[in-house]
Amino acid sequence: MYQKITFILLFIYQFSFAQTVYYVDSSRADNSGSGLSWSTAKKDIQNAIDIAAAGNQIWIKTGVYYPNASPNMTASTTVTATTPLTARDYYIQLKNGLSIYGGFAGTETTLT
């Protein structure tokens, strides 16, 4: 009986710390992939951050990436602008608890 309980607890423990890796590749056509492998990678860093949860990792392939999150404005926000938003107005909005790594070739399966 003790062995069964130990096995069950170890099984639950293993999955309680499972983390998901999301992949980002700027050469992708769009963000339609799931991001769960290099072949289905997200195109934009922000898109991967948006779907990731605390404890997840984001692996970013070497490339040129542009921020695509714009200032968060609600219906009650009043803005008077004389010029439209430019590239300098966009940013990457991070989340707590994510691990983000970059410089990958796009074939790796482990961090080291």
Sign, CA torsion 22/28/34/37 = negative
How does residue 25 score in pLDDT terms, banded at 50, 70 and 90?
very high
pLDDT for 40-87, tens place per residue? 999 999 999 999 999 999 999 999 999 988 766 665 666 666 777 777
**Is residue 95 in a domain?**
yes
Number of domains observed in the structure of the chain? 1
Residue 65 CB burial class (10 angstroms; 0-12, 13-18, ≥19):
middle
Residue 14's pLDDT is what?
46
Question: Residue 64 belongs to what domain range?
Answer: 19-70+82-112
pLDDT digits (tens, 9 = 90+) for 77-107: 666 667 777 777 888 999 999 999 999 999 9
Q: Is residue 7 part of a domain?
A: no
pLDDT (average), residues 20-35: 98
The answer to whether residue 110 is domain-embedded is yes
Task: Measure the CA–CA gap between 72 and 46, rounded to whole angstroms.
Answer: 14
